[in-house]
Amino acid sequence: MFRWAHPEHLYALAVVPVLLMFYLFARDARGKRLYRFGERKLVERLLPFASVNKPWLRMFLVLFALLSLVLAWANPQFGSRLVEVKREGVDVIVALDVSNSMKAEDIRPNRLERSKQLISRLIDRLENDRIGLVVFAGQAYVQLPITTDYAAAKLFLNSIDTDIIPTQGTAIGSALDLCQESFVGNDNKHKVIVLITDGENHEDDPITAAKKAGEAGVIVHAIGMGSPEGVPVPVYRNGSQVDYLRDRDGNTVLTKLDEMTLQQIAAETKGEYIRATNSDDGLTTVINAIGRMEKKQFGTKQYSDYEDRFQYLLAFSLLLLVLESLFSDRRSEVLHRLDIFGENKNKEERSS
């Protein structure tokens, strides 16, 4: 396996053609200045030991040395060994309420956005644990199957909004059932559901689903988003609030946190209930509870142990520079007789 340790350094290769163009320009300018003293034949007779091709050879040695230096700077690496690392953790599935009531702004910026911020920070705090996402409103859907790819989890998290599920409502029971089905393996000892909702259930029986989860050994930590007093749900259009959510009779809909339901769900599964506020969203409590759980070995993950190979390119570059220093622009008599570069032939053609 191969990779560059610092691929951004490869942009420095752009310097090589620039230096070549500069050399060609300088050589052409030098030739023009030289031939101002007389005709080409006369100048060549005055400089009998000047080599025509050696400067080119020296220039290419320097350019290839520079090329090798840049490649060494980028540090090519080859994976020569495989190291097996045991991974232990728990399976965490977040069940997130995306119903319209989550647009309420009793928690800033609103219930849904604050929930997404909480989940993002939860992902940052996980280590070897696996994470999954389930969203629910009138129905429940798997947003992200359980995975260790935390970057993918954040990507899917960012795409969540209240329009992701067309059927409105709050089906907490269906969400809990779907979370249990989404866990990998039959051992529920190391599995936890983080339920984030305002608790207003309109579709099914969440307590029955919680009892089912508790009997299977799945722990549910419930985080209540909102206030028990009840607040209206703002309606925005083009970034501006135009109204509040209303029912069929035109009355303003008030949404309030149902703490009793969420407390009962947590109690049925030996989990924690936390009421989120503007100052504390309950993340620390959930993280500590997950940290106390017995960890499960997920198997092994193989990492390629990459070894640096920049030293070979560096040595090659130094060798080229040493060779370049051994050459001069003077013509070698031995090479002149052998005419390796065809200089004698070129001079004869120019003389004739």
Per-residue pLDDT of the chain (352 residues; tens, 9 = 90+): 788 889 999 999 998 899 889 888 887 777 666 666 556 565 555 555 556 667 788 888 999 999 999 999 999 988 766 666 677 899 999 999 999 999 999 999 999 999 999 999 999 999 889 999 999 999 999 999 999 899 999 999 999 999 999 888 899 999 999 999 999 877 767 899 999 999 988 778 999 999 999 999 999 999 999 999 989 999 999 889 999 999 889 999 999 999 999 999 999 999 999 999 999 989 999 999 999 998 887 765 555 667 889 999 999 999 999 998 887 766 555 555 555 545 555 555 555 5
Residue 181 burial class via C-beta count within 10 angstroms: exposed 0-12, middle 13-18, buried 19 and up: exposed
Say whether domain 86-302 belongs to CATH 1.10.760.10: no
The answer to whether 166 touches 135, Cβ cutoff 8 Å, is no
The answer to whether 215 touches 221, Cβ cutoff 8 Å, is no
**Is the pTM for the entire model greater than 0.75?**
no
Q: How remote is the C-alpha of 130 from its chain's centroid?
A: 17
Bond into 206 cis (ω within 30):
no
Q: How remote is the C-alpha of 115 from its chain's centroid?
A: 22
- Phi, psi for 94 (deg, rounded to 5): -95, 125
DSSP assignment, residue 114? Answer: H
For residues 195 and 273, what is the distance between their CA atoms, to the nearest angstrom? 9
Residue among 195, 188, 187, 175 at smallest CA distance from 218:
188
Residue among 73, 71, 81, 74 at smallest CA distance from 307:
81
Domain residue extents for the chain:
2-75+309-351, 86-302
Residue among 145, 173, 166 at smallest CA distance from 268:
173
